[in-house]
Amino acid sequence: MVYGVFDVSSHVLGWTGWVFVFGVCRPSVWTMTTAATHDAVLRVGYIGVSALCVQMIIWIWFAPGSCTLLRSALRDEMFSSGSNKFVPSNLVLKYRKHFAVCATHVLPASVWCALIPFQLHPNARKQYMKLHRITGRVFFAVGACMTYGYYLIHKRGLHFHMTDFPTLPGDASISFVFDYAKVGMSFVHFEHAGAVWFAYTLVRAFTAVAVSRDFMRHRVWTWRHVAAGLAVALQRVFIFFHHMFFTLAYGDGYSHVPEIQKPIFADSLVYGGLVAVLYCEACVWRVVGSPRKSKHA
């Protein structure tokens, strides 16, 4: 049986995501200007991105997590009793002692997520161009702030595999599938690669519009930047399905121990990153896949 914030967020995510897509976005908003933007892959991608953004805002502010200002002792107790079945409570609450991480990474991530549905929607972008430019500047500033926040997480040694599973230090039991040691890697190298890609795509998206005035390239690299960040949101989805699988296959409680929780958490981040990147590139191909347009990406 699934408990805690996963259960709450799944219900809230369901109605909030559909209200946003079909309520805030009027039917006329779906009127696109090119054949590519009529593509079902892009529509599904937009709906998925919007839903994941709603999920992360809920996760950050209402879980409660490390940094939310909305928590209470009662809700903390209820949250911990449920979340401990998925991850150690310290994994989601540890940042409470690290204000700088909350201020530069966790809370800005909710602003980043809140801006994405508007920034990516083609009709909203055309109708409210001035607002799109203003919020775009905020979006890039917040992305840079989140990158610095990741640096603080690393500097303070707050990676989950270093602090949250004391009986399984470092890369012990880090994956069901991947043997990082065989290729001379640690899981932190994968995390660093994700952070570098997040920052690189942000820079490419910014310079494309601020320096080159190449709006197609700006669009493509913004998509890639969003995919890089939402890999973390997809991780939550894969965690949920991992635990559901183990519960159905082996019974309730099988996956509630550190030896299973840790590889689920790590592998889910890898799967989330892969799905985000691959789906994003499928969307990019829909828009710039032809030889005539591919030069812009």
pLDDT at 18 over 50: no
Query: What are 206-254's pLDDT values in tens digits?
Result: 999 999 999 999 999 999 999 999 999 999 999 999 999 999 999 999 9
Residue 132 to residues 94, 139, 203, Cα–Cα distance (Å):
35, 10, 18
275-290 exposure pattern, b = at least 16 Cβ within 10 A, e = fewer = bbbebbbebbebbbee
Res 99 pLDDT > 50 = yes
pTM: 0.83
Report the candidate in 13, 7, 46, 10 with the shortest Cα–Cα distance to residue 125.
Answer: 46
pLDDT of residue 261: 96
Model confidence at 69, pLDDT cuts 50, 70, 90, reads confident
User: Cα–Cα distance between 84 and 50 in angstroms, integer?
Assistant: 28
| Position 75 pLDDT exceeds 90 | no
Q: Is 27 exposed, middle or buried (0-12, 13-18, 19+ CB in 10 A)?
A: exposed
